[in-house]
Amino acid sequence: MNTQNPSPENAETTAKLDQTSAPAQLDQTGQVNQAGQLPEADPLDDSPVIAEVFGDSEKLIRMFHEKLVQEGVLRGMIGPKEVSRLWERHLLNSAALAPFLRDFAQEKHIAHLRVADVGSGAGFPGLVLAAMLPEHYFTLVEPMERRCEWLNENIDMMGLKNARVLRARAEQLHGEAEFDVVTCRAVARMSKLAGWVMPLVHRGGRFIALKGQAAQDEIDSAKAQIRQYRGAFAHVDLAPVAQGVEPTHVVSITKR
Task: State the pLDDT at residue 65.
Answer: 98
| Other Cβ atoms within 10 Å of 172 Cβ, number | 13
Name the binding residues for S-adenosyl-L-methionine.
119, 124, 170-171, 185
Task: State the pLDDT at residue 196.
Answer: 96
Residues 84-126: pLDDT tens digits? 999 999 999 999 999 999 999 999 999 999 999 999 999 999 9
CA 112 to chain centre: 19
Asked if the model's pLDDT at residue 22 lies above 70, the reply is no
Q: Which amino acid is at 238?
A: L
- Taking residues 141-152, report their average pLDDT: 98
- Taking residues 202-229, report their average pLDDT: 96
Task: State the pLDDT at residue 254.
Answer: 98
Look up residue 140 and give its DSSP letter.
E
Q: Per the CATH hierarchy, to which homologous superfamily does domain 94-255 belong?
A: Vaccinia Virus protein VP39 (3.40.50.150)
Distance from C-alpha of 256 to C-alpha of 205, rounded to nearest angstrom: 8
Name the binding residues.
119, 124, 170-171, 185
Task: State the pLDDT at residue 188.
Answer: 87
Task: State the pLDDT at residue 20.
Answer: 31
Task: State the pLDDT at residue 38.
Answer: 58
Asked if the model's pLDDT at residue 203 lies above 50, the reply is yes
Q: Please give the residue that has the higher pLDDT: either 176 or 26.
A: 176
Task: State the pLDDT at residue 39.
Answer: 59
Task: State the pLDDT at residue 35.
Answer: 34
Q: Return all residues near 154 (Cβ < 8 A) that are at least 6 apart.
A: 64, 67, 123, 127
Asked if the model's pLDDT at residue 133 lies above 90, the reply is yes
For residue 125, cis peptide bond before it (omega within 30 degrees of 0): yes
3-state secondary structure of 203: strand
- Bridge-based pairing of strands 114-118 and 137-141 is parallel
The mean-pLDDT minimum among 16-20, 55-59, 177-181 falls in 16-20
Q: Quick one: pLDDT band at residue 5, thresholds 50, 70, 90? A: very low
Asked if the model's pLDDT at residue 225 lies above 70, the reply is yes
Task: State the pLDDT at residue 220.
Answer: 96
Cα–Cα distances in angstroms (integers) from residue 96 to residues 9, 58, 183, 221, 250, in the given order? 29, 15, 12, 25, 8
Q: How far apart are the first and last CA of the chain?
A: 36
Look up residue 40 and give its DSSP letter.
P
Average model confidence (pLDDT) across the chain:
88
Give domain limits for the chain. 25-91, 94-255
Task: State the pLDDT at residue 73.
Answer: 96
Please answer whether residues 255 and 198 qualify as being in contact, where contact means their C-beta atoms are separated by less than 8 angstroms.
Answer: yes
**pTM of this structure:** 0.85
Task: State the pLDDT at residue 143.
Answer: 97
Q: Return all residues near 121 (Cβ < 8 A) that are at least 6 apart.
A: 77, 142, 147
Asked if the model's pLDDT at residue 175 lies above 70, the reply is yes
Strand ranges for 94-244 from DSSP E: 114-118, 137-141, 163-166, 179-185, 201-211, 231-239
